[in-house]
Amino acid sequence: MQPDPNCKFLYQSENMTESRESFSGSTQESAGIQARYDPCVQFQDVLRRNRQFGNAGVYAVCSAHAQVIDAAIQQSIEDKSILHVESTSSQVNQFGGYSGQTPQQFAHFVTSTAQRAGLPAGRVLLGGDHLGPFPWRSEASDSAMDKACELVRSCVLAGYQKIHLDPSMPCADDEEARLDELTIASRAAVLCEAAEKASRELSSGSTQPVYVIGTEVPAPGGEALGAQGPTVTAADDVHRTLEVFHEAFLQRGLSSAWERVIALVVQPGVDFAADAVFDYDGSKARFLSAALATHDGIVYEGHSTDYQSDGSLAQMVRDHFAILKVGPWLTFAFREAVLALGTIERELLKTSRQHHLSQVREALEAAMLRNPTHWRPYYHGAEEDVRRDLMYGYSDRCRYYWHEPVVQKEMDRLFQNLATSPISPTLISQYLPEEYKAIRTGRLQPVPEQMIQEHIRQVLRVYAAACTQAAV
């Protein structure tokens, strides 16, 4: 399948003119073809433009949720942009993760779904988020790192082109509650070596992976935050981190891989908790932006940017947070839409004797209470407060439970019930007002699947605008 010739992110950056002119004849033509068809090359071009002009960025959809992926595909088709999807080490790994998918299965799911929707493979960039020992951190470091290396290897062989190396969490035999920077860098180099070995097993025409590094990395799935929120990374820490990682890579003979380190994860003061959002303050992070001046080819990757305002996200892109990661906000939007449809169902059918009303909310809460693994360490206080946070919190720990069979059964019942008769537009206006506006203009049909997708895409449009209009 041929790539879309109208793709915005073709290989045409002004600062690449010199290197392109150095090509000769068929070499230049071949490189141009590769750039046009390769999402990783397109992606790196955006990062170069961000370094030069600060007016381009890419958002990463960090989710394995099927409806989220569908919405992201449709947004990429509309925007004529690359689709950048990442899976975390907890969501997808060689043992299945909580999504039940291996990297190979996840890669096939995303690429095949995109192609069926009309998005060519040349516009799909797969990435691995927080690839490291996190899922196995209760084991000794040797065992956990062996599994992490196998995960990285599996991702590269599955076609993941962007790898976030994250061994920042202590394992069972680590004496410190927080690892020192040298240990993190050394373990990251071990993971990188596994990725490079896997890359060499691929065909000669395959693009080599690019890497994201860092030590001030928000924990996968979030972490408990104080009332003051996170502390902004100091500029001196940026220089030291890059120096320590560079040395660790060189010690393992990874100088070529170091040239493909594209981004550093730092803490710009952005995060969220169950009921609080810590907003980006450009004045506090201005030294971070300036610190990149002496590090060619490096941008920042912004983690936990969910729930930030339109203006804050655009400012982050201008400040060289060229990669914005979003995940929980997307499944938060999914849950909002599903529960709203559940309320509409009750209004439509509560007196009907022919229909058994769905119990999506109840099934979801019961699944979370049966298996508290994914939320127990994060929610504290009175039972009433915890139950509210479980269902409605910004941390959106519901996202770990939508795949449960009992929840899926109730979702199916919801869709079946709503399909029995047209949904009153006044009910849609009451409970899904933005979707009502889209329906009134003819842009959307009043069917549950489309309304859910539209609700998710309202979030995606915020990121798309921030990444394309940062200069405005």
Three-state SS string over 162-205 comes to EEEECCCCCCCCCCCCCCCHHHHHHHHHHHHHHHHHHHHHCCCC
* Domain CATH number, residue 313: 3.20.20.70
Q: In which domain, by residue range, is 377 found?
A: 332-457
C-alpha distances out from residue 395 to 119, 205, 273, 355, 446, Å: 31, 41, 6, 34, 29
Same structural domain for residues 336 and 318? no
Has residue 11 been placed in a domain? no
Q: What is the SS3 assignment for 95-111? A: CCCCCCECHHHHHHHHH
Same structural domain for residues 340 and 311? no
What does the pLDDT read at residue 421? 87
Same structural domain for residues 287 and 367? no
What does the pLDDT read at residue 18? 35
- Stretches where the chain sits below pLDDT 50 are 1-35, 470-472
* Domain CATH number, residue 418: 1.10.400.20
Has residue 419 been placed in a domain? yes
What does the pLDDT read at residue 226? 59
The Cα–Cα gap between 59 and 467 comes to 7
Max Cα separation, the chain? Answer: 76
The residue among 326, 353, 381 that closes a domain is: 326
Partners of 278 in the beta sheet?
Answer: 271
Same structural domain for residues 112 and 217? yes
Name the E strands within 233-298: 261-265, 271-272, 277-278
Please answer whether residues 433 and 444 qualify as being in contact, where contact means their C-beta atoms are separated by less than 8 angstroms.
no
Neighbours of 464 (CB within 10 A): 18
Same structural domain for residues 292 and 366? no
Q: Comparing C-alpha atoms, which of 283, 274, 190, 194 is closest to residue 232?
A: 283
Q: How many CA atoms within 13 Å lie on the side-chain side of 312?
A: 18
Same structural domain for residues 186 and 320? yes
Same structural domain for residues 256 and 396? no
Q: For residue range 1-47, what is the model confidence (pLDDT) as tens digits? A: 333 333 433 322 333 333 323 333 444 444 444 445 799 999 999 99
The Cα–Cα gap between 139 and 373 comes to 17
Burial 259-279 (b: 16+ CB within 10 A, else e): ebbbbbbbbbbbbbbbeebbe
Has residue 7 been placed in a domain? no
Same structural domain for residues 259 and 372? no
Same structural domain for residues 129 and 257? yes
What is residue 94's three-state secondary structure? Answer: coil
Q: For residue range 400-458, what is the model confidence (pLDDT) as tens digits? A: 999 999 999 999 999 999 999 899 999 999 999 999 999 999 999 999 999 999 999 99
Has residue 198 been placed in a domain? yes
Number of domains, the chain: 2
391: its two tokens: 């269902």
